C-alpha cells in the first residue's frame, strides 16, 4: 500500500530528476543525479527491495556520481560557436532514432514479457543468487540500464571532437 511517505518521496524523486535534466551546469546535474539515486534507494528499501537499494545507493549514487564529477573536473568550457557545431553534428544522426525506436518496439512486442510489479513473497531460501536471479530479476534489468547509461555518459564526456 502506498503511504503518504511514498508520495512525498516520489515527488522528491521526480523533482530531483527534473532538476538533474534541466540544469545547465554539468556539476549540478551530477549532484542532482546523486540525490535522485539516493531518494530512489530509499524508496527501494521501503518497497521491500533491499538488495536493489544497496546497489542503487552504492553504484549509482556513489560510484557513477563520483565518476561524473571527476570527469567533469577534467573537461573545459566550450564556446557557443563550438557548441552549435557539435549540436549540428550530433543532430545529423538523430534521423536514425525513430527507426531504432520502432525496431526496438517491434522486438519488445514480439517477445512475451510479463511485468509483475507486485512485491514478491520473501524467499524460502536466503541465498542471494536465488533472490537476484529468480525473484528480483526486474531489479537487475534496472541496474543494468542505469550502469549502461552512466557508462555511455562517461564515454560521451571523454570523446574527442574532430576539428574540421
**pLDDT per residue as tens digits for the range 25-59:** 888 888 888 899 989 888 888 888 887 888 888 88
Taking CA atoms, 162 is separated from 37, 92, 150, in Å, by 34, 15, 23
Mean of per-residue pLDDT scores for the chain: 77
User: Rounded to an integer, what is the distance from CA 145 to the centroid of its chain?
Assistant: 6
Q: What is the pTM of this model?
A: 0.51
Q: Is residue 82 part of a domain?
A: no
Q: Is residue 120 part of a domain?
A: yes
Find the domain containing 124 and state its range. 4-75+114-158
Q: How far apart are CA 73 and CA 69, in angstroms?
A: 6
CB-CB contact of 60 with 53 (8 Å): no
Q: Is residue 87 part of a domain?
A: no
Q: Is residue 92 part of a domain?
A: no
Q: Is residue 118 part of a domain?
A: yes
Q: Is residue 95 part of a domain?
A: no
Q: Is residue 53 part of a domain?
A: yes
**pLDDT per residue as tens digits for the range 52-92:** 888 888 887 888 888 888 777 777 777 888 878 877 777 77
Q: Is residue 143 part of a domain?
A: yes
Taking CA atoms, 105 is separated from 110, 137, 142, in Å, by 9, 21, 18
Overall number of domains in the chain: 1
Is the pLDDT at 150 greater than 50, yes or no?
yes
- In percent, the amount of the chain with pLDDT more than 70 equals 75
Amino acid at each position: 500500500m502506498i503511504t503518504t511517505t511514498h508520495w512525498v518521496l516520489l515527488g522528491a524523486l521526480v523533482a530531483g530528476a527534473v532538476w538533474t535534466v534541466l540544469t545547465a551546469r554539468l556539476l549540478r546535474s551530477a549532484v542532482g543525479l546523486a540525490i535522485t539515486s539516493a531518494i530512489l534507494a530509499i524508496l527501494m528499501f521501503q518497497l521491500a527491495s533491499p538488495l536493489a537499494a544497496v546497489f542503487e545507493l552504492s553504484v549509482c549514487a556513489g560510484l557513477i556520481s563520483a565518476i561524473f564529477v571527476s570527469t567533469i573536473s577534467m573537461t573545459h568550457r566550450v564556446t557557443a560557436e563550438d557548441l552549435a557545431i557539435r549540436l549540428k553534428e550530433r543532430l545529423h544522426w538523430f534521423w536514425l532514432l525513430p527507426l531504432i525506436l520502432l525496431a526496438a518496439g517491434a522486438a519488445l512486442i514480439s517477445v512475451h514479457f510479463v511485468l509483475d510489479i507486485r512485491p514478491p513473497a520473501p524467499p524460502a531460501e536466503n541465498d542471494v543468487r536465488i533472490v537476484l536471479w529468480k525473484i528480483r530479476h526486474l531489479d537487475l534489468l534496472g541496474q543494468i540500464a542505469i550502469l549502461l547509461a552512466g557508462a555511455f555518459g562517461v564515454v560521451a564526456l571523454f570523446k574527442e571532437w574532430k576539428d574540421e
